């Protein structure tokens, strides 16, 4: 069939559909034939890394009917990835897709196609949440769907009721324009396409459909929480927060954080007593201490540079020192070292370093900090023992005033040291192992394509941490700079 005569291309995203794909294709062809001119449409089976007989069946159908095409992938692309690939190669100017389980009543297909084919709308989507629709959803999926769509409308300012109904049509030019900005390749693809289309001002028709659930109705932790939830957060940040983070705003926030840090410092430290003690202190020693402290910052930047270079990123010491200063200031204000997240954001926004690598570099820093503290504590303990001053520590732990607090402090310090050493041992051992514990764990709790996506992110994080910890030269260099930093 000549591609030039095709007006409508219907894509069927398929993953292990051997039991239903043949009937789905035949039903689709029959329905299209009922309202479209002959040879004006094609059906594309966008097969997404199937491991059953779906590829074989799709190949046979494509050989027997020139209106059917089959796109094969050896690996999982995700639903969005499979659709992107098929739409880019489709011949029609009106692009359509729906779920292969035919959960949406096919009597709605003509309205879906003609809404876009007529030129009246750029996008059309079925909706299970319009007042007049018929949709028999299990309660657990009903709650999850309502929650997801509610969050999408709230945070992404969408006017649509149902973003995830697998029954959509697009004008080719409009869709390809939107896809240039769409990042998700999995289940959030539908939502991101519709939200970005609204932001670009395209006309969208949402109409009620009769829908009967088929197949998987489970709430998937990886897909529904980590996958879909994180994507709402990503888009909200891109649309509502990132445009407001200008250079002037960043400077203002930095000044504000500094002021808050100073105020909080005054709350937890008796400034009057501090100033009184400083008046009686040796100014030369105070000045020397200040100089040494200032010098420690570029040393921290140099250490962070070494860590990032092991991960394949090269940045200047000056920039990295500034990023560390920002995150440390944030840690004075935010609890639980949340300021470190600010540094990961700065590295992503300013230097395009992926979040997994950014957080991995922070994790490496923390591990080396704990190791260094453990080493220094051990050296001090040995020194006290050699000089005969260890009795003071023994007395504090066993029977002196405030003995309970002293014992707790020693136990905590010992626990931190053991944890740091154990962490390094586990990291190095896992780096030398051929077993993929991350992927096996994630795929145990989810069989969805998002599981591979999430596993890939976690694998990158752990792999980056292992890269530094398992390389002897890098370990020695970062360890030496850590000792210098904490000694200062």
pLDDT at 170: 99
pLDDT tens per residue, range 23-52 = 999 999 999 999 999 999 999 999 988 889
* Contact assessment for residue 104 and residue 211, using Cβ atoms and an 8 Å cutoff: yes
Indicate if 181 belongs to the active site: no
pLDDT at 436: 59
What percentage of residues in the chain have a pLDDT greater than 90? Answer: 44
Whether residue 282 has pLDDT greater than 90: no
Whether residue 400 has pLDDT greater than 60: no
- Neighbouring CB atoms inside 10 A of 108's CB total 18
C-alpha distances out from residue 88 to 81, 93, 170, 302, Å: 11, 11, 12, 46
Question: Hey, where are the domains in the chain?
Answer: 3-242, 344-487
pTM: 0.73
Evaluated on CA atoms 27, 28, 29, 30, the torsion sign reads positive
| Whole-angstrom distance, CA of residue 102 vs CA of residue 249 | 50
Provide CB contacts within 8 A for 378, sequence distance 6+.
Answer: 417
User: In the numeric block, which tokens belong to residue 219?
Assistant: 């709430």
The mean pLDDT value for 159-185 works out to 96
Pairing assessment for the beta strands 94-98 and 167-171 based on DSSP bridges: antiparallel
| Whole-angstrom distance, CA of residue 240 vs CA of residue 10 | 34
Among the ranges 106-115, 218-227, 246-255, 267-276, which has the highest mean pLDDT value?
Answer: 106-115
| Whole-angstrom distance, CA of residue 61 vs CA of residue 45 | 10
The mean pLDDT value for 122-134 works out to 85
Provide CB contacts within 8 A for 275, sequence distance 6+.
Answer: none
pLDDT tens per residue, range 372-391 = 888 888 777 777 767 766 66
pLDDT at 27: 98
The mean pLDDT value for 163-168 works out to 95
Whether residue 269 has pLDDT greater than 90: no
State the residue for tokens 């769509």: 149
pLDDT at 109: 98
User: pLDDT band at 250, cuts 50/70/90?
Assistant: confident
* Contact assessment for residue 468 and residue 273, using Cβ atoms and an 8 Å cutoff: no
Among the ranges 6-15, 141-150, 375-384, 462-471, which has the highest mean pLDDT value?
Answer: 6-15
C-alpha distances out from residue 3 to 13, 378, 415, Å: 21, 75, 69
Whether residue 275 has pLDDT greater than 80: no
Where is pLDDT greater, at 406 or 57? Answer: 57
| Whole-angstrom distance, CA of residue 174 vs CA of residue 190 | 14
pLDDT tens per residue, range 336-377 = 678 888 899 889 888 999 888 899 899 889 888 888 888 888
User: In the numeric block, which tokens belong to residue 193?
Assistant: 């396409």
Average pLDDT of every residue of the chain:
85
- The whole-angstrom distance between residue 307's C-alpha and the CA centroid of its chain comes to 22
pLDDT at 443: 64
Whether residue 399 has pLDDT greater than 80: no
pLDDT tens per residue, range 322-339 = 999 888 888 877 776 788
pLDDT at 293: 86
DSSP class of 448: S
| Whole-angstrom distance, CA of residue 429 vs CA of residue 211 | 51
| Whole-angstrom distance, CA of residue 70 vs CA of residue 446 | 28
pLDDT at 160: 97
| Whole-angstrom distance, CA of residue 45 vs CA of residue 58 | 7
| Whole-angstrom distance, CA of residue 179 vs CA of residue 375 | 53
Provide CB contacts within 8 A for 403, sequence distance 6+.
Answer: 396, 397
pLDDT tens per residue, range 421-470 = 776 677 666 655 655 566 676 666 666 666 676 677 777 777 777 787 77
pLDDT at 404: 64
C-alpha distances out from residue 189 to 8, 104, 141, 196, 322, Å: 21, 19, 19, 11, 37
Whether residue 105 has pLDDT greater than 60: yes
For the chain, how are helix, strand and coil distributed in percent, rounded to 5?
A: 65, 10, 25
Where is pLDDT greater, at 223 or 352? Answer: 352
User: pLDDT band at 406, cuts 50/70/90?
Assistant: low
pLDDT at 189: 96
Whether residue 289 has pLDDT greater than 80: yes
Mind giving me the DSSP string for 344-398? HHHHHHHH---HHHHHHHHHHHHHHHHHHHHHHHHHHHHHHHHTT-HHHHHHHHH
Closest CA to 368 of 360, 358, 357: 360
pLDDT at 424: 67
| Whole-angstrom distance, CA of residue 449 vs CA of residue 457 | 13
Whether residue 409 has pLDDT greater than 70: no
User: In the numeric block, which tokens belong to residue 332?
Assistant: 């004075």
User: pLDDT band at 8, cuts 50/70/90?
Assistant: very high
- Give the E-state strand segments of 99-238 in sequence order: 123-127, 134-135, 167-171, 204-208, 210-211
Pairing assessment for the beta strands 94-98 and 68-71 based on DSSP bridges: unpaired
User: In the numeric block, which tokens belong to residue 56?
Assistant: 């074989």
Helix (H, G, I), strand (E, B) or coil at 256: helix
Neighbouring C-alpha atoms within 13 Å toward the C-beta of 462: 19
Lowest mean pLDDT among 62-66, 121-125, 239-243, 338-342: 338-342
- The whole-angstrom distance between residue 327's C-alpha and the CA centroid of its chain comes to 20
- Neighbouring CB atoms inside 10 A of 187's CB total 22
**Helix segments in 157-270, DSSP class H:** 172-179, 189-199, 228-236, 247-268
Whether residue 215 has pLDDT greater than 70: no
Closest CA to 453 of 191, 186, 193, 234: 186
pLDDT at 392: 65
Homologous superfamily, domain 3-242: Spore Coat Polysaccharide Biosynthesis Protein SpsA; Chain A (3.90.550.10)
Closest CA to 102 of 50, 152, 29: 29
pLDDT tens per residue, range 75-88 = 888 889 999 999 99
Catalytic hit among 171, 184, 190, 224: 190
């Amino acid at each position: 069939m000549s591609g030039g005569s095709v007006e409508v291309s219907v894509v069927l995203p398929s993953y292990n559909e051997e039991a239903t794909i043949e009937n789905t294709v035949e039903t689709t062809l029959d329905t299209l034939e009922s309202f479209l001119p002959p040879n004006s449409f094609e059906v594309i089976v966008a097969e997404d890394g199937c491991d059953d007989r779906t590829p074989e069946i799709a190949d046979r159908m494509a050989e027997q009917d020139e209106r059917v095409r089959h796109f094969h992938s050896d690996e999982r692309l995700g639903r969005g990835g499979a659709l992107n690939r098929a739409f880019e190669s489709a011949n029609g100017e009106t692009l359509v897709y729906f779920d292969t389980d035919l959960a949406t009543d096919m009597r709605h297909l003509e309205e879906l196609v003609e809404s876009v084919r007529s030129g009246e709308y750029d996008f059309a989507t079925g909706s299970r949440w319009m007042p007049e629709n018929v949709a028999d959803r299990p309660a657990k999926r009903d709650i999850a769907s309502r929650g997801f769509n509610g969050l999408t409308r709230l945070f992404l300012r969408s006017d649509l009721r149902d973003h995830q109904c697998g029954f959509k049509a697009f004008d080719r030019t409009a869709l390809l324009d939107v896809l240039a900005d769409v990042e998700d390749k999995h289940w959030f693809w539908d939502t991101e396409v519709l939200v970005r289309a609204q932001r670009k001002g395209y006309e969208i028709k949402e109409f009620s459909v009769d829908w009967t659930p088929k197949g998987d109705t489970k709430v998937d932790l990886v897909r529904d929480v980590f996958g879909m939830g994180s994507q709402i957060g990503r888009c909200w940040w891109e649309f509502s927060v990132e445009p407001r983070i200008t250079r002037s705003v960043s400077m203002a926030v930095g000044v504000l954080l500094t002021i808050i840090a100073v105020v909080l410092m005054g709350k937890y430290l008796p400034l009057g007593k501090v100033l009184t003690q400083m008046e009686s202190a040796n100014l030369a020693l105070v000045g020397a201490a200040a100089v040494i402290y200032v010098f420690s910052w570029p040393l921290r930047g140099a250490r962070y540079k070494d860590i990032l270079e092991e991960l394949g990123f090269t940045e200047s010491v000056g920039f990295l020192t500034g990023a560390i200063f920002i995150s440390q200031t944030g840690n004075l204000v935010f609890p639980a070292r949340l300021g470190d997240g600010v540094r990961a954001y700065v590295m992503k926004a300013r230097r395009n370093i992926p979040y997994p690598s950014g957080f991995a570099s922070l994790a490496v820093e923390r591990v080396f900090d704990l190791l260094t503290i453990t080493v220094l504590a051990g050296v001090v303990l040995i020194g006290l023992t050699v000089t005969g001053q260890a009795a003071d520590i023994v007395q504090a732990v066993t029977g002196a005033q405030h003995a309970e607090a002293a014992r707790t402090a020693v136990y905590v310090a010992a626990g931190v040291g053991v944890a740091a050493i154990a962490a390094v041992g586990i990291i190095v051992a896992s780096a030398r192992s051929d077993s993929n514990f991350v992927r096996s764990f994630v795929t145990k709790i989810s069989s969805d394509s998002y599981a591979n996506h999430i596993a890939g992110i976690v694998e990158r994080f752990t792999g980056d941490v292992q890269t530094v910890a398992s390389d002897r030269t890098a370990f020695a260099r970062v360890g030496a700079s850590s000792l210098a930093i904490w000694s200062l």
